[in-house]
C-alpha cells in the first residue's frame, strides 16, 4: 500500500559558514510496506531511520533534495497529498517529545488528534479518554501540560494520538524509548493490534529485540543504505537465513545470542550489499 521507489535524500552540510556540501542520508531506498504488516526498520543511530519517516510524511527540512518516487494506495504521494493525508490517513509517532504542544493539556491534545481525523468534539474527548486510559495515563496525567509529564508518559501520549487518528499507515519512531517493560509491551501490542486490523505499521527502532516479537518483516539500515529486508523469522539460530553479514552480526550481538558485539563493527558491507541497497 506504500511503495518507495529508489528514494534518495541529500541534506546540506555546512563545513564552514560559506561552504556547503551535500550529505547523502538515504541512498536509492526501495521498499513496499503492506497492509496488515508490522515492518520493523532497524539500524544504529544516524542510519537515516527518522529521515525515512519524515520523507514519507512530507516533513523534511525545506532544503532537502529528494529523488525517487513514493506511492500510496497506487497513487503518487506528492507534497499536496502528504499534506492532505497527514494526521488522517498517515500518522507519525515522532521520536522527539518536543512534538507535544506545550500549551495544551494532555487530554485536549489527544482529542485534537481525534478531531483532525473527523470526529465531533464530544466524541473526540471520549476517544481521547479511552486511549489515555488504555496507555495507563491517570486523571492527573490527562490534565497535565507536556512539561509536567515524564519522558515515558509523553511518549505514551504521542502513541495515544496516533491511536485515535484512525490512520491506515502508522509510523512509530522509537516508540518504546524510556518505557518500562510493561509499558513497552503495551505499546508494542497496540501496534501489532493496528496491523491485525489491516493497517500498515512501520516500527522504527535501534533495538532489534523490540521489533522482532511483533514484526512480520524487518529492514536493516546502515548509513542511509538499505542493507537487507528479511522476514522476522529469518532472525533465528545462527542467522544463516539472513543474506547480509551486517544483519547477521546485529542478530548475533543480542545478549541471548552470545553477545558478539564486536562482530557488528567488523561486519563491513560487502560490495554486493552496497549495490543491492
Ligand atoms: N536536518 C538535518 N540536516 C542535516 N543532516 C541531518 C538532519 N537530520 C538528520 N541529519 C543527518 O542524517 C543522518 C540520519 O539521521 P536520522 O535522524 O534519520 O538518523 P536515525 O537513524 O533516526 O538515528 P537515531 O536512532 O539516532 O534517531 C544523520 O547523520 C544526521 O546527522
Ligand atoms: Ni531517529
Chain-wide mean pLDDT for the chain? Answer: 92
Contacts of 39 (CB under 8 A, 6+ apart): 33, 200, 201, 202, 203, 215, 216, 217, 218, 219
Confidence band of 263 (pLDDT split at 50, 70, 90): low
The reply to whether ipTM tops 0.90 is yes
122 CA to middle of ligand 2, Å? Answer: 35
Q: How far apart are CA 109 and CA 252, in angstroms?
A: 42
Residue 214 CB less than 6 A away from ligand 1: no
pLDDT of residue 260: 59
Residue 222 CB less than 6 A away from ligand 1: no
Per residue in 183-223, pLDDT (tens digit) is 899 899 999 999 999 999 999 999 999 999 999 999 999 99
For residue 240, report the phi and psi dihedrals to the nearest 5 degrees.
Answer: -65, -25
pLDDT of residue 270: 55
Residue 64 CB less than 6 A away from ligand 1: no
> What does R_g of the chain's alpha carbons equal in angstroms?
19
Q: Is pLDDT above 50 for 275? A: no
Q: Is pLDDT above 60 for 226? A: yes
Atom of ligand 1 nearest to the CA of 224: 14
Q: How far apart are CA 266 and CA 40, in angstroms?
A: 23
The dihedral formed by the CA atoms of 56, 60, 62 and 65, expressed in degrees to the nearest 10: -70
Percent of the chain with pLDDT over 90: 82
Q: Is pLDDT above 80 for 271? A: no
Q: How far apart are CA 35 and CA 37, in angstroms?
A: 6
Residue 54 CB less than 6 A away from ligand 1: no
Per residue in 133-179, pLDDT (tens digit) is 999 999 999 999 999 999 999 999 999 999 999 899 999 999 999 88
Q: Is pLDDT above 80 for 259? A: no
Q: Is pLDDT above 70 for 273? A: no
241-263 mean pLDDT: 84
Residue 50 CB less than 6 A away from ligand 1: yes
- With cell 504488516, the residue in question is 37
- Please check whether the domain covering 2-89+167-276 is classified as CATH 3.40.50.300: yes
Q: Which residues surround ligand 2, an ion (CB under 5 A)?
A: 49-50, 95
Grid coordinates given for 103? 500549551
Question: Do residues 68 and 226 touch, judged by C-beta distance below 8 A?
Answer: no
Amino acid at each position: 500500500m506504500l511503495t518507495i521507489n529508489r528514494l534518495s535524500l541529500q541534506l546540506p552540510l555546512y563545513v564552514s559558514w560559506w561552504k556547503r556540501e551535500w550529505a547523502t542520508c538515504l541512498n536509492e531506498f526501495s521498499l513496499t510496506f503492506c497492509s496488515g504488516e508490522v515492518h520493523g526498520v532497524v539500524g544504529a543511530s544516524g542510519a537515516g531511520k527518522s529521515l525515512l519517516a519524515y520523507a514519507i510524511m512530507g516533513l523534511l527540512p525545506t532544503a532537502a533534495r529528494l529523488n525517487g518516487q513514493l506511492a500510496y494506495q497506487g497513487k503518487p504521494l506528492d507534497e499536496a497529498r502528504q499534506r492532505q493525508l497527514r494526521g488522517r490517513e498517515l500518522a507519525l509517532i515522532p521520536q522527539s517529545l518536543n512534538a507535544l504542544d506545550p500549551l495544551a493539556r494532555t487530554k485536549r491534545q489527544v482529542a485534537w488528534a481525534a478531531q483532525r481525523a473527523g470526529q465531533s468534539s464530544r466524541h473526540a474527548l471520549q476517544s481521547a479518554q479511552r486511549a489515555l486510559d488504555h496507555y495507563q495515563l491517570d486523571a492527573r496525567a490527562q490534565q497535565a501540560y507536556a512539561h509536567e509529564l515524564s519522558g515515558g508518559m509523553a511518549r505514551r501520549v504521542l502513541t495515544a494520538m496516533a491511536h485515535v487518528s484512525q490512520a491506515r499507515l502508522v509510523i512509530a519512531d522509537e516508540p518504546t524509548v524510556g518505557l518500562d517493560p510493561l509499558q513497552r509491551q503495551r505499546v508494542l501490542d497496540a501496534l501489532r493490534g493496528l496491523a491485525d486490523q489491516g493497517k500498515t505499521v512501520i516500527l522504527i527502532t535501534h533495538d532489534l529485540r523490540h521489533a522482532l516479537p511483533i514484526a512480520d518483516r524487518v529492514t536493516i539500515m546502515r548509513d542511509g543504505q538499505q542493507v537487507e529486508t528479511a522476514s522476522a523469522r529469518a532472525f533465528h539460530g545462527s542467522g544463516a537465513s539472513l543474506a547480509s553479514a551486517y544483519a547477521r552480526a546485529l542478530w548475533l550481538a543480542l545478549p541471548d545470542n552470545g553477545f558478539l558485539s564486536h562482530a557488528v563493527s567488523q561486519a563491513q558491507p560487502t560490495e554486493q550489499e552496497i549495490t543491492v541497497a
